[in-house]
Protein backbone atom coordinates (compact mmCIF):
# COMPACT_ATOMS: atom_id res chain seq x y z
CA UNK A 1 0.00 0.00 0.00
CA UNK A 2 1.48 3.41 -0.93
CA UNK A 3 2.22 5.96 1.78
CA UNK A 4 1.05 9.56 1.71
CA UNK A 5 4.48 10.84 2.74
CA UNK A 6 8.20 10.13 2.89
CA UNK A 7 10.32 11.17 5.89
CA UNK A 8 13.10 13.53 4.72
CA UNK A 9 14.85 14.53 7.97
CA UNK A 10 16.05 13.22 11.27
CA UNK A 11 13.84 14.13 14.24
CA UNK A 12 14.21 17.63 15.66
CA UNK A 13 12.53 19.80 18.30
CA UNK A 14 10.19 22.75 17.98
CA UNK A 15 9.77 24.65 21.25
CA UNK A 16 7.41 27.38 22.34
CA UNK A 17 5.99 29.14 25.36
CA UNK A 18 3.07 31.37 26.22
CA UNK A 19 2.24 33.70 29.12
CA UNK A 20 -1.33 34.79 29.64
CA UNK A 21 -2.19 38.40 28.83
CA UNK A 22 -4.56 38.53 31.83
CA UNK A 23 -5.72 36.21 34.61
CA UNK A 24 -7.90 33.40 33.19
CA UNK A 25 -7.62 34.74 29.63
CA UNK A 26 -7.27 32.41 26.63
CA UNK A 27 -3.90 33.38 25.16
CA UNK A 28 -2.36 31.97 22.00
CA UNK A 29 1.01 32.38 20.31
CA UNK A 30 2.01 31.55 16.76
CA UNK A 31 5.08 29.34 16.30
CA UNK A 32 6.74 29.64 12.91
CA UNK A 33 7.83 26.39 11.27
CA UNK A 34 8.83 27.38 7.71
CA UNK A 35 8.07 24.66 5.19
CA UNK A 36 8.92 24.32 1.50
CA UNK A 37 5.51 24.42 -0.19
CA UNK A 38 6.97 23.95 -3.67
CA UNK A 39 8.20 20.50 -2.62
CA UNK A 40 5.00 19.70 -0.65
CA UNK A 41 6.89 19.67 2.64
CA UNK A 42 5.09 19.00 5.91
CA UNK A 43 5.81 18.28 9.57
CA UNK A 44 5.19 14.89 11.08
CA UNK A 45 4.71 15.41 14.82
CA UNK A 46 5.76 12.37 16.84
CA UNK A 47 5.34 13.60 20.44
CA UNK A 48 4.54 16.74 22.44
CA UNK A 49 5.76 17.40 25.99
CA UNK A 50 4.15 20.13 28.12
CA UNK A 51 5.41 21.99 31.19
CA UNK A 52 3.51 24.64 33.11
CA UNK A 53 2.85 26.32 36.39
CA UNK A 54 0.55 24.48 38.80
CA UNK A 55 -3.06 25.66 39.09
CA UNK A 56 -3.76 27.74 42.17
CA UNK A 57 -5.37 26.07 45.18
CA UNK A 58 -8.67 27.90 45.58
CA UNK A 59 -10.98 26.86 48.47
CA UNK A 60 -14.36 25.43 47.42
CA UNK A 61 -13.55 25.61 43.68
CA UNK A 62 -11.90 23.72 40.89
CA UNK A 63 -9.00 25.59 39.31
CA UNK A 64 -7.69 24.54 35.90
CA UNK A 65 -5.06 25.17 33.31
CA UNK A 66 -5.56 23.97 29.73
CA UNK A 67 -2.77 23.84 27.12
CA UNK A 68 -3.18 22.96 23.47
CA UNK A 69 -1.10 22.76 20.31
CA UNK A 70 -3.03 23.13 17.05
CA UNK A 71 -2.26 23.46 13.37
CA UNK A 72 -4.53 26.50 12.91
CA UNK A 73 -5.39 29.52 15.02
CA UNK A 74 -8.19 29.02 17.55
CA UNK A 75 -10.36 31.44 19.55
CA UNK A 76 -10.74 29.10 22.53
CA UNK A 77 -10.08 25.57 23.73
CA UNK A 78 -10.99 22.82 21.28
CA UNK A 79 -12.02 19.24 21.88
CA UNK A 80 -10.61 15.95 20.67
CA UNK A 81 -13.03 16.05 17.72
CA UNK A 82 -11.24 19.07 16.20
CA UNK A 83 -9.17 17.81 13.24
CA UNK A 84 -6.57 20.55 13.81
CA UNK A 85 -5.79 19.57 17.42
CA UNK A 86 -2.32 18.06 17.74
CA UNK A 87 -2.05 17.73 21.53
CA UNK A 88 -3.90 18.96 24.62
CA UNK A 89 -3.32 18.78 28.36
CA UNK A 90 -5.57 19.82 31.23
CA UNK A 91 -4.38 20.20 34.83
CA UNK A 92 -6.97 20.59 37.58
CA UNK A 93 -6.89 21.16 41.34
CA UNK A 94 -10.09 20.75 43.33
CA UNK A 95 -10.48 22.63 46.60
CA UNK A 96 -12.65 21.87 49.59
CA UNK A 97 -13.01 24.01 52.69
CA UNK A 98 -9.34 23.61 53.64
CA UNK A 99 -8.13 20.52 51.77
CA UNK A 100 -7.14 20.15 48.11
CA UNK A 101 -7.03 17.33 45.60
CA UNK A 102 -4.57 17.44 42.74
CA UNK A 103 -3.11 18.57 40.58
CA UNK A 104 -4.71 16.00 38.28
CA UNK A 105 -3.27 15.75 34.76
CA UNK A 106 -5.56 14.81 31.88
CA UNK A 107 -3.98 14.23 28.47
CA UNK A 108 -6.73 14.32 25.85
CA UNK A 109 -4.62 13.88 22.72
CA UNK A 110 -0.99 13.40 23.53
CA UNK A 111 2.11 11.24 23.32
CA UNK A 112 4.46 11.47 26.30
CA UNK A 113 6.27 8.24 25.51
CA UNK A 114 9.90 8.33 24.44
CA UNK A 115 10.32 9.30 20.80
CA UNK A 116 9.51 6.58 18.30
CA UNK A 117 9.67 6.94 14.53
CA UNK A 118 6.39 5.01 14.36
CA UNK A 119 4.53 7.37 16.70
CA UNK A 120 2.49 10.10 15.08
CA UNK A 121 0.17 12.70 16.59
CA UNK A 122 -0.45 14.52 13.35
CA UNK A 123 0.82 16.12 10.17
CA UNK A 124 0.98 19.86 9.53
CA UNK A 125 1.22 21.17 5.96
CA UNK A 126 1.17 24.94 6.54
CA UNK A 127 3.93 27.06 8.08
CA UNK A 128 2.66 27.64 11.60
CA UNK A 129 1.72 25.93 14.84
CA UNK A 130 -0.43 27.59 17.50
CA UNK A 131 0.18 27.09 21.21
CA UNK A 132 -2.48 28.27 23.64
CA UNK A 133 -3.07 28.45 27.38
CA UNK A 134 -6.34 29.02 29.19
CA UNK A 135 -7.20 28.82 32.88
CA UNK A 136 -10.03 29.04 35.37
CA UNK A 137 -10.03 30.33 38.98
CA UNK A 138 -6.42 31.54 39.01
CA UNK A 139 -5.11 34.46 41.10
CA UNK A 140 -2.20 35.43 38.83
CA UNK A 141 -1.33 35.04 35.14
CA UNK A 142 0.15 31.65 34.25
CA UNK A 143 2.65 30.40 31.69
CA UNK A 144 3.30 27.14 29.87
CA UNK A 145 5.83 25.66 27.46
CA UNK A 146 5.94 22.79 25.01
CA UNK A 147 8.49 20.76 23.11
CA UNK A 148 7.38 18.86 20.00
CA UNK A 149 9.44 16.11 18.39
CA UNK A 150 9.03 16.45 14.61
CA UNK A 151 10.39 15.19 11.32
CA UNK A 152 10.18 16.90 7.95
CA UNK A 153 8.25 14.93 5.34
CA UNK A 154 7.48 15.16 1.64
CA UNK A 155 3.78 14.58 1.00
CA UNK A 156 2.15 13.14 -2.10
CA UNK A 157 0.29 15.75 -4.16
CA UNK A 158 -3.14 14.50 -3.07
CA UNK A 159 -2.22 14.30 0.63
CA UNK A 160 -0.64 17.77 0.53
CA UNK A 161 -3.71 19.27 -1.17
CA UNK A 162 -6.06 17.65 1.34
CA UNK A 163 -4.07 18.85 4.37
CA UNK A 164 -3.61 22.41 3.11
CA UNK A 165 -7.31 22.65 2.22
CA UNK A 166 -8.27 21.40 5.70
CA UNK A 167 -5.90 23.82 7.48
CA UNK A 168 -6.82 26.86 5.38
CA UNK A 169 -10.57 26.28 5.56
CA UNK A 170 -10.66 25.92 9.36
Q: What is the pLDDT of residues 17-76, one digit of tens each?
A: 999 999 999 999 999 988 998 999 999 999 999 999 888 888 888 899 999 999 999 999
Q: What pLDDT does 2 receive?
A: 55
What does the domain layout of the chain look like in residue ranges?
5-169
This prediction's pTM: 0.88
CATH class of segment(s) 5-169: mainly beta
Q: What's residue 1's pLDDT?
A: 36
pLDDT of residue 83: 86
Q: What is the pLDDT of residues 83-128, one digit of tens each?
A: 899 999 998 888 766 666 766 777 766 655 666 666 788 899 998 9
DSSP 74-138: -SS---TT-TTEEEEEEEEEEE-SS-EEEEEEEEEE---SPP-TT--SEEE-SSEEEEEEEEES-
Amino acid sequence: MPKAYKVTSDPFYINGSVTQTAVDAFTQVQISAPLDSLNREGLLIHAVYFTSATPDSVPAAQSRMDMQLTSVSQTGNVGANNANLIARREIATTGGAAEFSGPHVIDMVHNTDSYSADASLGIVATDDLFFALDSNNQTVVKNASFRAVCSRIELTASAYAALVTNELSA
